[in-house]
Structure 1
Amino acid sequence: MAQNVIAVYPGTFDPMTLGHEDVVRRATQLFDHVIVAVAAGHHKKTLFSLQERVDMVREAVVRFPQVEVATFSGLLRDFVVARGGKAMVRGLRAVTDFDYEFQLAGMNRSLMPDVETVFLTPSDKYQFISSTFVREIAVLGGEVGKFVSPLVEERLADKVRSLGRE
C-alpha cells in the first residue's frame, strides 16, 4: 500500500453540507492527507464569498488533523499536480450524479494520468443533500438544520438576513 498519499476533494462548498463533511470523514480513513480544495467558483454565482466558504470548510474539518483547506482558481489539474495529489475524491449522491462525474473523471484522467479519481458515497441520511437545495431552502425561509452543521446554519441565516430575504 502506498504511503503518504495526498487526495484532493474539490468543490465550491456553497455551503458546506453534512454530506460534504461525511465524504471528508470517509476520505480521511483512506488517505494520509486530504486537501479540501475550495474553488473560486468563477463559473458559478455563489451565495457566499470565497473567504466565507473557506472559513465554513475550516470550521467543519477542524477535528481532522490530516485535512488541509486551500483555495484554487483556474484548472484543477494545475492545483492537484502542484500539491502532489495522487487521488481526487468526488462525492456521489445518486445515479443522477454518475453520468456527469464519470465524464469528469475521464477528462481528469486525460489531463492527469497519474491521478486516480475515487468516488465516495455519503451515508444514506445525507445522500439527497445538495448545496443548491440547502441555499434555496434557506433563502425561502425554510429550516436547514438537518442538512448543515449549526455553524453553517447560523452563517446561512446571517447571509439571508443581509440579503433582506428573511
Structure 2
Amino acid sequence: MKPVAPRVAIYAGSFDPFTLGHEDIVRRGAALFDRLVIAIGINPDKQPLFSAAERQEIMGDIFADLPNVQIAGFTGLTVDFARSIGASVMLRGVRTVSDIETEFTMALANHILAPDLETVFLMASERFSHISSTLIKQIATMGRDASREQLLKFIPERVVTPLLEKVQRERAEGMGDRGQ
C-alpha cells in the first residue's frame, strides 16, 4: 500500500495587522490539513505597519498551541512559494460577495499558473465577516481613543499592545514633524 502524502495547505496574505477573522480561518484550516503554512507576503513596494518578522513572531505566539501550523515570509508569486514548500492547497478566507469576485479571479489565474494547486475557500464566520486589516488600522489610527477593549472585538489580544504602541509612536513622530 502506497503511503498517503501529507495534506499541506498554504494560507497567504499580508496579515497587517492579524485579525480575529484570520485566526478563525487558520484554526479551522489547521483542523482540515496535516500542515498549514501561514505565508506572509512581503511586498517591497508597500510600507506595512508591522515588519514581516513582527508579524511572524505575533502569529507564532498565537498558534503555539497548534503544532501543525507554521509561519513563513515570502516574496514573489504565492503559487511559487506554495510549490517550494510542497503545498497542494491554497486556503482562502471569504468574507463578502465582493471578496468572492476577487478571490474567484485570483483562483482562476493561480490555476492557470499552477494547475496542480487547488484553492479551497472557507467562508468567514458571521461574527468576523466585517473585519479587515484596513478597518483595524483605521480604528487604531483615526479613533481618538482606540482602547484595548474596543480592539479586542477585532484582533487577538497578542496584537493589541504592539498595535497601540505603533500608533502612539506614529502620532508622537507626526507631532514632532509639525512642530519643526
What is the TM-score when the length of structure 2 is the normalising length? 0.87
Provide, for residues 116-161 of structure 1, a one-character-per-residue CA deviation record: whole Å limited to 9, x for no partner: 0000122211111000100110012333220011110111101111
- 1:66-85 pair list within 5 angstroms: 66-85=68-87
- Residue 150 (structure 1) aligned to one of 129, 146, 157: 157
Residue correspondences, number? 165
Normalized per residue, the structure richer in helix is 2
Q: CA contact under 8 A between 1:19 and 1:127: conserved in structure 2?
A: yes
Residue identity in the other structure for 1:81: R
Q: Where do 4+ consecutive residues of structure 1 move more than 6 Å? A: none
**Distance in 1 of aligned mates of 2:13 and 2:45:** 12
Q: CA deviation at 1:3?
A: 4.4
**Is the radius of gyration larger for structure 1 or structure 2?**
2
Mapped pair 1:125 → 2:127: yes
Question: Structure 2: which 5+ runs fail to align?
Answer: 176-180
Residue identity in the other structure for 1:147: F
Question: Structure 1: which 5+ runs fail to align?
Answer: none
- RMSD between aligned alpha carbons? 1.5
Match of 1:38 in 2: 40
Provide, for residues 9-51 of structure 1, a one-character-per-residue CA deviation record: whole Å limited to 9, x for no partner: 0000001100000000110111100000011133533111111
Moved more, 33-42 or 83-92: 33-42
Mapped pair 1:105 → 2:107: yes
What is the TM-score when the length of structure 1 is the normalising length? 0.94
Residue identity in the other structure for 1:59: D
Query: 1:146 is paired with a residue of what secondary structure?
Result: coil
Provide, for residues 77-127 of structure 1, a one-character-per-residue CA deviation record: whole Å limited to 9, x for no partner: 211111001000000001010111000000110111011000012221111
**Distance in 1 of aligned mates of 2:44 and 2:104:** 23
**Distance in 2 of aligned mates of 1:149 and 1:51:** 18
**Distance in 2 of aligned mates of 1:79 and 1:52:** 20
